[in-house]
Structure formats: C-alpha cells, structure tokens
C-alpha cells in the first residue's frame, strides 16, 4: 500500500473519535475502536507473519514507518512545507486537462461549500476532514512530485454526485435505456481519454521507434531496438555474478528487466538528502570499496567525461562497459561499470 494512502483513514477515525467524545458516547467509541482494531489485525497479521518468518520485523518498522515519518519531512517547519505544497498543487490543478480541472474544483466546492452533496453540516465536515488529512499526509514531506497529485483525484466523484442530485432536484425527466452499444462506446471513450492524456503511451511497445529505445545508430550495438534497461540487463546476465548497485539514485528498472534481486540493503538511493540520512551513501561507498556488487550504474545530469563520473574509488575498482544518453531529456547520462578482476 502506498504510505500516503493512510491519510484519509487517519482523518476518518480522528473525526469519528472527536464526534463521539463530544457526544460523550464512550461505550460506542470503545466498540468502534475494538471492531476497527479487529479489522486492522485481519489484514495486518499475514503481513506481520511474512516479515516475522523472514526475521525482518525491525526492518519493516524502521523502513516503512520510522523512515517515512521522521526522515522524509524537511528541516523547515512542517506548516510552511504544507503551504508551499498547497501552492504547487494549485499549479498542478491549473496545468491539468480542462475537464479534470473543472470537475475537481466543482466537486470540492459542492462537497464543502454547498448543500448539494449533503444538507447536514456534519457530513460536509467529514468530507473536509478526509480531504485535509489526505492532502497533509501526501505533502507532509514538502515534496511535490507530480504523481502525488493523483491521490486527490478521487474527490472528482463529488462533481458527478452533484450533477446527478441537481438533475433529480430539478426533476429533469431523462429516459435513456442503456444498451451494450452504449457501454461499448463509454468504455472506448474512457480508454481514448486516458491514453490521450497520458503521454507515456508514446513510450510503449505500440510505438517501436520511440525515444526510450536504443538502436544501432547509437553507441550501443543491438540487433533490435530495446530499452536501455534490457540492454544493461543482458550485459549483466553474461556474468556469473549478477549483482547490481544503483549508485546515488533511484532504481532505474534494470532489476525488473533482468529479474535480479538485490544482494545489499541500500541497492539504490531514496529521494532524501545525504545531510539528513547519510547512511545510504556511506553504505554504497563501502560496497564499492569492497566490490560487493559486480556491476554499478551511475546517473549524471549532464554529459561528462568518463574520468569525471562517480568517485576515484569507483574507477579504481570498476571499469566502464556501457553508457547511454537519454534521448528524451538529452541531459541525463547512464554509465554501467563492471568490477575489475
């Protein structure tokens, strides 16, 4: 489960708890708490058992909870981080497709500021609490990656609800029989809109000559156009020691392309500064010193000469076997090094 998805659940139970405390319904609060804990246990016990079986309970707590809560938030005050993220999110809404932009704005306005969704104030307060906690947990760390915005999109459904309730209130007589033809058209239009608003389809196998594929005209020889992940993976597969380190950046997809499993804990670097959490880079430098992995991938933002890539220790223990310049960005270069014998 994506960590930030816990936000609306926290908001929901926080709202129910406050409501029952105000009403002094302590017995009902106790019952709800016990039932909720039972439900939480049903889905948590299998997960806990898995990590217990692999002797990794402490790793689960350390990585999934402690790291996300205490290391991702920036050094600046959380309040200012959330305000900054709110501004960035507003920018994401402005850049969104017009229909999506209108639906989100109409949906949120209908839910919080009108009686269209519900005439009861308590219902609107609940919806506002859910949205607020979702937003806060998603942007607590002060980061503003574009995909963070996606968690807010389910609130678009309020626009549909508002439209349907308005039609019902005005007693607009709509007689429409849904047939298989209508369902097919609806599915086709939905898929078309999805692909039209998602440029990543242009980087799929449907378009064989897209910018993510490498061909013989570049500095890597390949019989058929392939992604650089598969090319790097094929190079690694020729070795008896198929171990890999993503030095100083996130996983590049070579593990998936080659069906490899990491042999070290810090096989990549998270989006967190070295000043806040130096353990990752300290460990990676140690891996390179001891030649713990057979291969190392380095990512540079600008074209560099081979001798300027990575560290002196990297060049002492490893040699370059392949490199690739990303055609899409034209500013990112990937270097694949192999351990010297």
For 297-338, write each residue's pLDDT tens digit: 999 887 678 888 889 999 999 999 998 877 665 678 889 999
pLDDT at 29 over 60: yes
Q: How many residues does the chain have?
A: 341
pLDDT in the model for residue 288? 96
What is the average per-residue pLDDT within 230-257?
92
pLDDT at 189 over 60: yes
What tens digit of pLDDT does each residue of 129-178 get? Answer: 998 888 877 777 666 666 777 777 788 788 878 777 777 777 656 555 66
- For the chain, what percent of residues have pLDDT higher than 70? 77
pLDDT at 15 over 90: yes
Rounded Cα distance, 99 and 94, in Å:
11
Rounded Cα distance, 164 and 186, in Å:
18
What is the residue whose two structure tokens read 């090094």? 337
pLDDT at 32 over 60: yes
Rounded Cα distance, 133 and 14, in Å:
10
Beta pairing class for 244-247 and 226-227: unpaired
pLDDT at 1 over 60: no
């Amino acid at each position: 489960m994506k960590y930030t998805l816990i936000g609306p659940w926290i908001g929901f139970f926080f709202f129910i708890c406050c409501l029952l405390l105000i009403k002094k319904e302590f017995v009902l609060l106790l019952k709800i708490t016990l039932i909720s804990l039972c439900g939480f246990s049903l889905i948590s016990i299998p997960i806990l058992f898995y990590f217990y079986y692999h002797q990794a309970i402490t790793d689960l707590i350390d990585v999934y909870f402690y790291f996300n809560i205490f290391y991702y938030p920036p050094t600046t005050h959380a309040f200012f981080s959330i305000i900054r993220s709110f501004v960035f999110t507003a920018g994401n809404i402005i850049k969104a497709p017009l229909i999506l932009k209108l639906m989100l704005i109409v949906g949120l306005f209908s839910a919080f500021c009108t009686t269209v969704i519900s005439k009861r104030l308590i219902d609107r307060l609940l919806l506002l609490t859910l949205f607020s906690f979702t937003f806060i947990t998603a942007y607590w760390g002060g980061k503003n990656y574009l995909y963070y915005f996606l968690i807010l999109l389910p609130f678009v459904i309020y626009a549909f609800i508002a439209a349907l309730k308005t039609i019902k209130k005005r007693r607009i007589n709509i007689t429409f029989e849904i047939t298989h033809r209508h369902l097919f058209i609806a599915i086709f239009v939905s898929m078309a809109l999805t692909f039209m608003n998602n440029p990543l389809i242009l980087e799929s196998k449907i378009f064989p000559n897209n910018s993510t594929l490498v061909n013989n005209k570049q500095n890597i020889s390949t019989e058929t156009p392939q992604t650089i992940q598969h090319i790097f993976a094929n190079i690694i597969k020729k070795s008896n020691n198929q171990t890999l380190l993503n030095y100083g950046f996130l996983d590049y997809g070579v593990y998936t392309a080659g069906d490899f499993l990491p042999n070290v804990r810090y096989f990549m670097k998270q989006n967190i500064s070295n000043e806040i959490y130096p353990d990752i880079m300290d460990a990676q430098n140690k891996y390179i010193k001891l030649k713990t992995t057979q291969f190392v991938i380095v990512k540079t933002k600008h074209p560099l000469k081979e001798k300027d890539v990575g560290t002196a220790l990297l060049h002492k223990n490893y040699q370059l076997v392949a490199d690739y310049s990303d055609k899409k960005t034209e500013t990112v270069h990937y270097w694949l090094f192999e351990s010297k014998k």
